[in-house]
Homo-oligomer: A and B are copies of this chain.
Amino acid sequence: METITENQKLKVAKKIKKMFGHMKRSEMEYCPIRDVMALASDKWSILIILYLGYYPVLRFNQLKKKVYGISNKVLSERLKVLESDGYLSRTLYPEVPIRVEYELTDFGHSYLQKILDLSEWVTTYSDQIMANRKKYANAQG
């Protein structure tokens, strides 16, 4: 892990201050960062967005296969939330059997870039995190 300089830390602190340094106590209670992040950064939503970044168009059951382990219920819920927030579009083709296609909006693609940076970081360091966990678990006995 490359060390971070004091100068970089100061820059980061400045950015954080800009983000919510002006917020009052009462405003913190309903904090958009908390709200938006809570919905879009859970494990399933991130995977859905990543898969739609890779396969530009996917149907419900295709997504279900790709997003390994997700249930109908949760997939359906997440898709509604992600559509509602504007990350993806849902198009229904009234054929028989019915066909429904999901794809990222421009907004979703913008978000995907951020999520992708984060995911790449996680992928790069996941081994180290697992090692950290083991070390901690041993230290605790």
The answer on a CB contact under 8 Å between A9 and B109 is yes
Interface string of A11-42 (1 = CB under 8 A from B): 01101110111000100110111111110111
Is the CB of A122 closer than 8 A to any CB of chain B?
A: yes
Chain B residues with CB under 8 Å of A16's CB are: 50, 53-54, 116
The answer on a CB contact under 8 Å between B33 and A122 is yes
The answer on a CB contact under 8 Å between B54 and A13 is yes
SS class, residues of chain A in contact with chain B: helix
The answer on a CB contact under 8 Å between A130 and B9 is no
Chain B residues with CB under 8 Å of A137's CB are: 84
Chain B residues with CB under 8 Å of A15's CB are: 116, 120
Contact of A133 among B68, B85, B111 (CB under 8 A): B85
Chain B residues with CB under 8 Å of A118's CB are: 37, 41, 114-115, 117-118
A-B complex: 8 closest residue pairs judged by Cβ atoms: A86-B132, A32-B126, A28-B68, A84-B136, A38-B43, A16-B54, A41-B41, A4-B109
